[in-house]
Amino acid sequence: MAMEKLISVLFSKFILLLLFLDVTNACGLQLGFYSGTCPNAEQIAYAVLYKYISRDPTLAPSLLRMHFHDCFVRGYKAEKEAFPNLSLRGFHVIDAVKSELEKKCPGVVSCADILALVARDAVFMIGGPSWDVPTGRRDGRVSIDTDALEQLPSFTANITELIKDFSAKGLSVKDLVVLSGGHTIGIGHCSSISDRLYNFTGKGDTDPSLDPKYASALKEKCKLGGDNLKTVEMDPGSFRTFDEGYYSNVAKRRGLLRSDAALLDDVQTRTYVQLQSVTHGWTFAQDFGASMIKMGSVGVLTGNQGEIRKRCAFVN
């Protein structure tokens, strides 16, 4: 009787395990997808990327952002000309990785997977966390510039709009605040914050949510009527290092963009910001990897869907 009960319990746990595996692989991605068709795919991508990042670490935030944009919309070529994507850099890096993989494993590794792997490795190369990237994505056959305009979260969005945009992609409020932490690296343009500094409500005023000292410092760099292409650091003092400094700045009302400041307007996002600020990023690295994996599964094409592009900028 005891043995039958034990067998029954083990069988139940086995069924639960199968259900769990089915859920985790529901999107069709898996670790080591290329182990049989291109065993060294990840190592090849890493080696090519390292040549670029070692010479220019500032490419890392652009490559991370590129993966983010790719997850929220569908294509590549037409979307590159969409307004939110005009400031993206690093397409040549993706093309270089693709070219090398095509030499070793022609027609096997998708551009979508390359973006996911490069984003992970770029973050790691500048001191950030690493995470396992499930692969098996296929490339889309559709690329429309208006998709980027309509689907990418805006840097001027308030917290309600941000939560709605992320929810539409199956991402939680926690994913929103965690992935916002990617702003710990990179730069922003004066044009993106001009209204916050000089004309927030149309009356020549400054955004009251900005720390006054920080606003004054920004005005020194971004003069009224000055060069809108001039840049400022997203995370002053450590914008080239992937760390928790972003949350410390946001907690002090020193988030550069409206969308950064908005994280203080919701109890869940505000609590997370304060936790990472006080604990010096206690869970940030782990959380970021988990949310990146989740984001990397948004709207993926697998199996016989889509295609494997020969050149990332063009549908076959």
Q: Which residues are catalytic?
A: 69
Cβ neighbours for 244, distance < 8 A, ≥ 6 positions apart: 181, 184, 276, 277, 280, 281, 284
**Maximum distance among all Cα pairs of the chain, rounded to whole angstroms:** 84
Cβ neighbours of residue 144 closer than 8 Å, sequence gap 6 or more: 74, 75, 78, 79
Q: Is the Cα dihedral 152, 158, 160, 163 positive or negative? A: positive
Sign of CA dihedral 181, 184, 185, 191: positive
Sign of the four-CA dihedral 188, 263, 296, 30: positive
Rounded to 5°, angle at Cα 256 from 250 and 262: 55
